[in-house]
Structure 1
């Protein structure tokens, strides 16, 4: 589809028509690169309601939110141009504030803001609102028959926004209900070219790139030019879905005065977080002398990155492999207990 805004690159994400559950499992969920599924959720009642305009989708959503908990809403002043980000050169805070409000209040305010010019319009964004808690009627009326495990549908409702380039640790299926969305995506190996912000003080969970893709400062962030050489763009309209594998970086633009997206995060193993392991390695490994770091790199390569088949423990009897054994619930519990006991002694 065509969005009337310049894109960062002409390179596009692959796309195909909607798929059935078996095809999704065999040909989509195992992909290592994103793909657009055109019309995947075109049958949803919410998409039909969105075709009637802002007031139509607002009325429809209001019927699904009766009895739901208030939503957390991000609010930014008009001068931020819809970009949720840090505030100031010292990153001393954020350029938005948070407020909780019922779904009906959010929808009413979005309809009011739709009558204002862009320069007068605050940006409102309810992000990752879990459907069971906030829109109790959503799942029954807008079901998805794809094999996504026990993934929870989450709603993203707002006006024209841009979400800073970030990653998710889980695979993601993002389904557009109302408005248009543009995802600019980067492979995981571009982390060094994206100039990532603080790891432990973030806007909404994962760390984000410091570069504004709509106005990149290449004097300050020169390696971002290399990241753009690997970027892909996905333009989505109502009914379309985007599959993104875990750890792909993505910047998201939302267009329109009332836009809605429903996404699903799911993972094969929802246990320990690789990101948390990375942060622990900052303390335990990064500041060691160079020779020691090189030695520990060999350990990581041997036990983690070069050991997909478990060969590093093959010389040990199964009962003696301990934390090196095959993945299982028992091994996970053993590792967790080992770490908790070890860290408690520090």
Structure 2
């Protein structure tokens, strides 16, 4: 149990001795979260963390070139939670720059009750040599490690537009995960102003306001929990919502993001659909939903298959030339709207 937070009834499956073939042939195609126990237990960084916080700081500090990273800091009154203020007019944390060595030194100093974090520190740029010493056993070397260095903290439920392997280096981590289809029951925050780029759920898992968020119990029934100790890893599939709790004072996680299919502006398509479709009369929205299903979401009957290949246009495969024509059409259509 995590103090202050409930525990979902369902736990993520746990596997041991996961190799590259099993990961890409079975785990990734299944599209479900999986804990991989001890995946990076042999990393020198993990061995140093198990020895002592100072040993970990010495290991990471040896790679630091003094380049600045973004650091976020909350007041003690926020209980380590990175989020919005009550009025949603601003974020509840401050931003400044520092080096990784400065962040690590602050982790070892006496706590003043505030939470702070250096997030998504790209190892090749900021800590060159870390990846050579601590290589991923699953993804290729061209997928960079990113480090998340923090005190005890809570990152609000959000999603990423990548597949993700999250590897605990130091400190325990609790993940609570929700499948993508639970988005309507998680009550998204502002799309234009987010804590870290992706929309977050407005529901506090430690104190859900069910009058304000009445559908949240449906999401909670689908939630899964994953607890990581140093050396463990978690596969988080594309767009799975995840709430992250760092449970120890010296908390370091390395993650690997990758996407087999380059993003073609899917979020922009969502925003355009909001502008163009959402406020239409219900009868018209249902009609558009049928067309979206036929042209975008019907995997069993791909659009355009009934047409000659040379006449399928955007209903057929989108090569580079077709994508450019489609972009030109969008620009022309939006300029006329």
Q: Same fold (TM over 0.5)?
A: yes
Counterparts of residues 299-318 of structure 1 (less than 5 Å): 299-307=291-299, 309-310=301-302, 312-318=303-309
Is 1:222 the counterpart of 2:214? The answer is yes
Is 1:79 the counterpart of 2:70? The answer is no
Q: Alpha carbons of 1:337 and 1:153: their partners in 2 closer, same or farther (altered >3 Å)?
A: farther
Contact 1:64 1:137 in 2 (8 A): yes
Instruction: Tell me which residue corresponds to 2:16.
Output: 17
Contact 2:146 2:254 in 1 (8 A): yes
Instruction: Tell me which residue corresponds to 1:32.
Output: 31
Instruction: Tell me which residue corresponds to 1:323.
Output: 314
Is 1:231 the counterpart of 2:228? The answer is no
Counterparts of residues 226-265 of structure 1 (less than 5 Å): 226-265=218-257
* SS of residue matched to 1:126: strand
Structure 1 runs not aligned, ≥5 long: none
**Deviations for 1:265-314, whole angstroms, at most 9, x for unmatched residues?**
1112113132221111001111122222222111101111114552x212
Question: Equivalents in 1 of 2:208, 2:317: separation in Å?
Answer: 45
Question: Equivalents in 2 of 1:203, 1:315: separation in Å?
Answer: 45
* SS of residue matched to 1:16: strand
Is 1:110 the counterpart of 2:107? The answer is yes
Question: Equivalents in 1 of 2:141, 2:49: separation in Å?
Answer: 28
**Deviations for 1:20-55, whole angstroms, at most 9, x for unmatched residues?**
111111111112210000011111111111112211
Contact 2:40 2:137 in 1 (8 A): no
Question: Equivalents in 1 of 2:301, 2:64: separation in Å?
Answer: 48
Instruction: Tell me which residue corresponds to 2:68.
Output: 70
Which stretches of structure 1, 4 residues or more, deviate above 4 A after TM superposition?
2-6
User: RMSD value over aligned CA atoms?
Assistant: 1.9
Question: Equivalents in 2 of 1:332, 1:224: separation in Å?
Answer: 38
Question: Equivalents in 2 of 1:285, 1:8: separation in Å?
Answer: 38
Counterparts of residues 199-214 of structure 1 (less than 5 Å): 199-214=191-206
Aligned counterpart in structure 1 of residue 290 of structure 2, from 298, 307, 310: 298
Q: How many pairs align? A: 337
Range moving further from structure 2, 237-246 or 130-139: 130-139
Q: Alpha carbons of 1:150 and 1:296: their partners in 2 closer, same or farther (altered >3 Å)?
A: farther
**Deviations for 1:31-90, whole angstroms, at most 9, x for unmatched residues?**
2210000011111111111112211111111111225x21101100111110001012x2
Instruction: Tell me which residue corresponds to 2:126.
Output: 134
Deviation, 1:230, is: 1.1
Is 1:93 the counterpart of 2:62? The answer is no
Contact 1:160 1:255 in 2 (8 A): yes
Is 1:169 the counterpart of 2:168? The answer is no
* SS of residue matched to 2:295: helix
Structure 2 runs not aligned, ≥5 long: none
* SS of residue matched to 2:323: helix
Instruction: Tell me which residue corresponds to 1:152.
Output: 144
Q: Alpha carbons of 1:344 and 1:220: their partners in 2 closer, same or farther (altered >3 Å)?
A: closer
Is 1:271 the counterpart of 2:263? The answer is yes
* SS of residue matched to 1:218: coil
